[in-house]
Chains A and B, each alone.
Chain A
């Protein structure tokens, strides 16, 4: 069965410092992986997706993630945090024959301090 584990429930950074949100996946097949962001009282928004075309995936708002098969990881990074990045972030995997059935991790709450 497919699953993702987000290693940190909370991450706090200062504005202007790098962001690292960690995610490990479990999959019997080549996975489809995503990162979603959820701001308070707003819908989930797709940040980026891994489609097996390139291991380094660039997303919106300066975020990127690197697929590492040997480590079964798909960590999300950003070089410099902005106050507006404060939100809940979800690592997501989809089922191999049902790519539209999304399986979410438990989320990482990112706090950004001035």
Chain B
């Protein structure tokens, strides 16, 4: 079974620029999550999709972050404009068991550095 694919692996941008990350979940997984992992901290949920609908975006900074999941498969997370504090690893995960933590699979993440 192929894993959760994320790209790019690394990205360095200047503050106030925009950036986008891409995630391809495991085939057939209806639920997709984006987590933010700041250095020295555990991952924090940003947004959860069920198919192409948003289930939870309560911790997404909506003034600068946006995410979409067209056709209920791939997803993109965008930051515009980026701030220094957005430097982090952005993890995508997918699950085939709606509402359950037991079917989670994480991608390797995109490491963003904002300078």
Residues on A close to B: CB < 8 A?
A: 32, 34, 41-46, 49, 90, 92, 94, 98-107
Contact = CB atoms under 8 A, between A and B. Distances in A.
A74 B3 CA distance: 29
17 contacts: A34-B101, A41-B9, A43-B4, A43-B106, A45-B106, A92-B42, A94-B101, A98-B56, A100-B98, A100-B99, A100-B100, A101-B48, A101-B56, A102-B104, A104-B43, A107-B40, A107-B41
A107 B102 CA distance: 20
A41 B9 CA distance: 9
B95 interface: yes
Contacts of B41: 104, 106-107
Contact of B100 (A92, A99, A105): A99
Contacts of A34: 101
B104 A100 contact: yes
Given A32-B101, A101-B101, 4 more contacts: A98-B56, A100-B97, A100-B98, A106-B42
Contacts of B43: 44, 90, 102, 104
A99 B101 contact: yes
